[in-house]
Copies of this chain bind each other. A is one copy, B any other.
Amino acid sequence: MILRLALGTAEESVQALRERLESAGLRVLRSPEEARPILAVAGKVPEKLAAELRTRAEVAEIVKPSGELLLVARAMRELPSVVDVGGVRIGGGDVVVIAGPCSVEGRELVLEVARKVKDCGAHLLRGGAFKPRTSPYAFQGFGVEGLRQLKDAGEAVGLPVVSEIMDASDLPAFLEHGIDCLQIGARNMQNFTLLKAVARANRPVLLKRGLAATAEEWLYAAEYLFEGGCEQVILCERGIRTFEKATRNTLDLTVLPLLREWSHVPVIVDPAHAAGIARIIPPLARASIAAGADGVAVEVHLNPEEARSDAAQALLPRELLGIVSDARILAAVTGRRLHP
């Protein structure tokens, strides 16, 4: 249950209400909204207490979200939330493009890609240092050294960086090397241990949707992050697993407008992992932004055929340029703007 209090409710009234609820054995969590205090109540509110709440003057509105999706619920915020990743604002009307190599494959290479990414007008540099691979014999990434190379490249060209974290024990390395945004991969979306650890790091988190996760389960994973103390979450749709074999996965844009209603959390789209084929990524990137996404994330490689992972879906810099250009137009068409 979410209690939206009256604008300007005095802090002591908020505390009194909070104590009233906690004395009934309920857990109370609070939105960071300042002008209007908003409380989320976890657990089942007894009918008698619910009736009392309906009569309290300071309770302006009672919202019952689906299940226990509380902190991510749209009603917890006055406006959709905006996540600041190293100065780049995601959500709230700004559309962003995230680009970079699938995996960091060497200091020179990542720097060169970073320059192109910056030149093309993208806003964040992505790159994998720890790679989740289906086979134990596949290239597993450069690890910490990859993080260092990615961050150095990002700093050299002036772009914040995002990289996937697979293990809570790597968190100190991510923080030490100043990785601006921690990505939770699709396979780890319900790795609750990792979610709880990452939540405590106080860094922006990019949470990919699991390969067969419902939108509701995905939001629950985000709820774990918020409940653990992280207020800076970005969702990333990347295609779901269906019977269709022509493409690697099926991009679920259908659920995008629903996420807007259910949650205040920004949502970007990674069309590359859905498509699995570079040449069909540009129209899917356009579709994503037209459907309302707050941005797109793509993979770029200077020589895609030499990439050590996901070669088939890496774009050339000139294709990235087209995506940024399209994003600018489609952001405008949908009443937003490309992040400057």
Residues of A within 8 A of B (CB): 27, 42-43, 67-68, 70, 132-138, 166-169, 187-188, 190-194, 210-212, 214-217, 220, 223-224, 227-228, 239-247, 249-258, 271, 274-275, 277, 279-280, 283-284, 286-292, 326, 329-330, 333-334
Contacts and interface: CB of A to CB of B under 8 A. Distances in A.
Which 9 residue pairs across A and B have the least CB separation, nearest first? A212-B212, A290-B290, A287-B291, A257-B280, A167-B193, A187-B190, A286-B290, A287-B287, A136-B227
Nearest to A135: B68
Contacts of A220: 134-136
Contacts of A286: 290-291, 333-334
Contact of A244 (B168, B224, B247, B252): B252
Contact of A290 (B168, B211, B330): B330
Contacts of A67: 135
Given A166-B192, A212-B212, A283-B292, A250 B246 contact: no
A249 B254 contact: yes
A134 B220 CA distance: 6
Contacts of A239: 254
Number of copies of this kind of chain in the complex: 4
A149 B282 CA distance: 43
Given A166-B193, A287-B288, A253 B253 contact: yes
A296 to B, nearest CB: 12
A254 B190 contact: no
A229 B109 CA distance: 35
A239 B96 CA distance: 28
Given A132-B192, A134-B190, A212-B211, A255 B247 contact: yes
Given A43-B137, A137-B27, A166-B193, A254 B250 contact: yes
Given A167-B193, A246-B214, A137 B42 contact: yes
B245 A274 contact: no
22 contacts: A134-B190, A134-B220, A136-B228, A188-B190, A188-B191, A215-B244, A215-B246, A240-B242, A240-B244, A242-B243, A242-B252, A243-B243, A251-B253, A254-B280, A254-B284, A257-B279, A257-B283, A258-B280, A284-B291, A287-B287, A287-B288, A290-B330
